[in-house]
Structure 1
Amino acid sequence: MNHRPLRTVLLCLLATAIPASILHAQEGHDKLAAPSIKLKTTRLKKLRETEAYLLEMKSLTDAELKGRSREFKVAGAFLHLGNSLSLIGDQEAAIEAINSQIQLSHEMEKKQGLAPSLPYEMGDETLVSGAESENILVLDAISEIVKQAKNRQIIMLNEAHHLPMHRAFAMKLAKELKRIGFTYLACEAFSPWDEKPLAKKYVSDAMGLYTLEPMFANFINSAIEDDWKLISYEAPTATRELDMAKNLMEKIFKKDPNAKVFVYAGYGHIYKHPEANSKPKHAMMAAQLKMLSGIDPFVIEQTQMSPIFQSKQQQDMYKKVQSRFKITKPSVLATKSGHYVRLGIQQKVVDMQIVYPHYRLDKVTHREAWLESIAEFKPKDIPINLLPKNGVRLIYAYRQDDPLDATPIDLVLVDVKKPLPKLMLPAGQFRFATED
């Protein structure tokens, strides 16, 4: 699934004005800039707008609908809400909202007699049931990918666009791939209309759409520090999959035929089957690139066995895997003969699948536990003078020396009625902004 409608919805959602913001230095909490300086601190406002929009769509009367589907309207509102929650760092709430959107979409498809847009294939399900599971090994995902990457020219990894955890894994993987000679990082998320942001030494709000999310900003900041060559390949065209592959050919392989490339994309763009030479209209970007380049990419799927459930079958299989194998970190399931187990997806589509534990909120930081275990960020107390006296406040964290148009590297919502969360930050010095 390529989620083309999701991109359109988000483009509309994120086009907003820029209000004033208060800046605070980390050391001594002194003001960094005059009150007239303005930052893009409107994410809490957007969240409230999407919450109000959801309530409005739910309350539409039949007369107001004018024959349109209420489920369609409400599903779209949940999609707005899920991505707004993702952009303020609330992954758990984002998952809940998107799962609601998926459920409504499936209900609409059933009413219309359509096949599900996100089919759950059986894959290797029989390997994780009964005695067969005794022959399954649980392997570290990063180590297994690096082992395969040493003899590959293209590594592809997908993500769920509202799940920042996937970007933390991509950041960790990128560091290891760089160490073994990979030099190009190509991301669907980069804007196809403006190459200039890619030349900056920081992530700005002009770089792209999904890069507005703090974990994605950390991923790209880390890539910039590691001297990756950043490549945009998105193609907002009618033949999107083919044109994305053509962009990769034009920008990388025609200039550097031996290039070692890490391609990061959403959902089904990384699927290698059906092949482009047999079903070109249905072939995804990975299959198109394989046809054009003659290079067989090694593709890794990380959306099916994450805590986002596109169907009851997927949810049941995820729970079964967690119960049988006690997954505690991003892992790969493999048979003793070396076959990588892939669940809920056809075998020819991808080469490997990552299985995630269901990370809970950490009892000390009150943030998702993966921020420390995968991203390797450290907890830091929110400066006391930034805390709200009542209500809620969104705290923005920026790298100290980043320009004013930089994307925040952490966001945390403080509610005086709930336990106080901590900031989760990489190494460095920081400045802060608030939004009430």
Structure 2
Amino acid sequence: MKHLFIIAITLLSVACSTKNEDHKKLDFVEFDFHFDTASNEIPYNFSSYWDTFPTNVDRTAWEFAKIGNIARMHEIWDTKESIEIGLTQEQRDSFALYKAMDAIDYILNKAEEHQVVIINEAHQMPQHRVFTTRILEGLKRRGFKHLGMEGYFNTPQADSIIQANGYPILDSGYFTQEPQFGNLIRTAFDMGFNIFGYESSGHANGREREINQARNIESHLNRYPNEKILIHCGFDHVYEGGMPNSSMGWGKAMAGRLTEFTGIDPLTISQTIYSEKGNRDYENSYYQITDLEKPSVFVNESGEPFGQQRKETSLDLPPMGTFRYDIAVFHPRSKKYDRPQWMVYDDRREVKLSFVEEDIQCPCLVLAYKKGEKVGKAVPYDIQETDDKKVTLVLDKSDFEIVIWNQKNTALKAEFN
């Protein structure tokens, strides 16, 4: 027994030593850090700050997403949700007739037949921005040249800034400050996409906003006739057809208005229905019974995708309307790695960093900037908050500058390559 105890202690010691060695140590130096933005607001703040605004659910959830705290984001957003009613056996049997297919492959095949693809996001979900980023390369090969984004400021200044800098900056928009949104813009620009904003300005109500958004996209299409575009929008703007009478008086969402104005039938993709919540009881009832390793589309033997589509021949009468989308993406839950597994793809990998020997008081935000992009001005490639001076970042194989910044405005910086 004594020998077994010694062996156990030895193995534990080796395991702890190995764990410590997994965290890379960098040569940090003091750094005069500040955010270079025209806004009076700090673009990234600490959890302790946002925890003081529990009733401002949307904004608080968005801010936790911006600093990479997905678990806390879900906890906040869940307070808006309600418990889903479970499925009947008949519904379960019906769903069992659909088989999961790779969502990226499925969407790219369908996109070949369309001039316009519209995909939505939930604004609190960086996972949705990662998915849009992952379909860019395939769309580019299929002739898509333009990327329109609701979250990107619709101004000539924004267009000139991205062209001048070649990377997203804090003043490109509000939602675009979230690192995965920044990476979506960064990737699209590197691939040669023409990036534009189409958000409405000066609208008096939701109906006018949907109309103005569609008109702005129509104007872009008129400047580039017959060229293919991808639109990345928020939530219900993706719906085609007539919206429910109770839906904020829109009449039609942006996608429906675009068809009305241009005659173009877009390929519409929803990501917002079949995604995880912090509490599984709040998840869509069909999503609850899935356990996926990758983004998927469920398709039956007739080739029809599963989802909450409503067609013009729908039996649903007003006030339900005929609103619909073409494809529903089922996303995998966050699991497996220190960071959500959906962040790790292509050449992106986890990088464990430790700065336990540095003289800086935590909590700290650790911000990763791509080398060559202006620190404090660019949207960081990744952000994590830490109390123990250890973080796991998700980075590609580029060179980076890593900044540690605390609540006392003390900062350190190091090179990472």
Cα root mean square deviation, aligned: 3.1
Q: 330, 341, 348: which one pairs with 1:355?
A: 330
| Residue equivalent to 2:51 | 51
Aligned CA distance change for structure 1 residues 399 and 311 (closer, same or farther; 3 Å)? closer
| Residue equivalent to 2:257 | 288
Matches within 5 A, 1:291-370: 291-308=260-277, 314-320=283-289, 322=290, 326-343=291-308, 346=310, 348-360=323-335, 362=337, 366-370=338-342
Aligned CA distance change for structure 1 residues 387 and 351 (closer, same or farther; 3 Å)? farther
CA distance in 1, matches of 2:369, 2:90: 46
Aligned CA distance change for structure 1 residues 202 and 44 (closer, same or farther; 3 Å)? closer
CA distance in 1, matches of 2:275, 2:357: 34
Aligned CA distance change for structure 1 residues 235 and 209 (closer, same or farther; 3 Å)? same
Q: Give yes or no for contact 1:43–1:88 (8 Å, CA) kept in 2.
A: no
CA distance in 2, matches of 1:160, 1:91: 13
Q: 92, 103, 106: which one pairs with 1:144?
A: 106
Matches within 5 A, 1:148-163: 148-163=110-125
Aligned CA distance change for structure 1 residues 37 and 314 (closer, same or farther; 3 Å)? closer
| Residue equivalent to 2:379 | 407
Q: 1:322-364, CA deviations, whole angstroms, 9 ceiling, x for partnerless residues?
A: 1xxx422100001110111004x645510000011212251xx
| Residue equivalent to 2:365 | 394
CA distance in 2, matches of 1:157, 1:121: 27
Aligned CA distance change for structure 1 residues 28 and 46 (closer, same or farther; 3 Å)? closer
Aligned CA distance change for structure 1 residues 272 and 410 (closer, same or farther; 3 Å)? same
CA distance in 2, matches of 1:416, 1:125: 47
Shift of 1:231: 1.1
Q: 225, 228, 237: which one pairs with 2:193?
A: 228
Shift of 1:393: 1.5
SS in 1 for 2:80: helix
CA distance in 2, matches of 1:125, 1:153: 39
Q: Give yes or no for contact 2:154–2:196 (8 Å, CA) kept in 1.
A: no
Q: 1:249-280, CA deviations, whole angstroms, 9 ceiling, x for partnerless residues?
A: 11x2112220101000000011002179xx99
Please say if 1:272 is aligned against 2:270.
no
CA distance in 2, matches of 1:310, 1:266: 22
Q: Give yes or no for contact 2:334–2:341 (8 Å, CA) kept in 1.
A: yes
Shift of 1:217: 0.8
| Residue equivalent to 2:7 | none
Please say if 1:198 is aligned against 2:162.
yes
Between stretches 394-403 and 41-50, larger displacement belongs to: 41-50
Residue type at the aligned position of 1:304? I
CA distance in 2, matches of 1:138, 1:312: 22
Shift of 1:386: 7.8
Q: Give yes or no for contact 1:394–1:435 (8 Å, CA) kept in 2.
A: yes
Q: TM (normalized to structure 1)?
A: 0.74
| Residue equivalent to 1:168 | 130
Residue type at the aligned position of 1:432? I
CA distance in 2, matches of 1:388, 1:217: 31
Residue type at the aligned position of 1:379? E
Q: TM (normalized to structure 2)?
A: 0.77
Shift of 1:415: 2.1
Q: 1:383-420, CA deviations, whole angstroms, 9 ceiling, x for partnerless residues?
A: 53686776421101000110231111100112229xx4
Q: Give yes or no for contact 1:388–1:414 (8 Å, CA) kept in 2.
A: no
Residue type at the aligned position of 1:191? F
Shift of 1:144: 0.4
Residue type at the aligned position of 2:189? I
SS in 2 for 1:129: helix
More helix by share: 1
| Residue equivalent to 2:34 | 38
Shift of 1:100: 1.1
Shift of 1:381: 2.5
Aligned CA distance change for structure 1 residues 219 and 38 (closer, same or farther; 3 Å)? same
Aligned CA distance change for structure 1 residues 186 and 164 (closer, same or farther; 3 Å)? same
Shift of 1:314: 4.5
| Residue equivalent to 2:173 | 208
Between stretches 307-316 and 262-271, larger displacement belongs to: 307-316
Q: 1:282-313, CA deviations, whole angstroms, 9 ceiling, x for partnerless residues?
A: 10000011111111000000111001389967
CA distance in 1, matches of 2:354, 2:46: 24
Structure 1: unaligned runs, 5 residues or longer:
1-25, 55-73, 107-119
CA distance in 2, matches of 1:139, 1:126: 23
SS in 2 for 1:382: strand
Residue type at the aligned position of 1:203? P
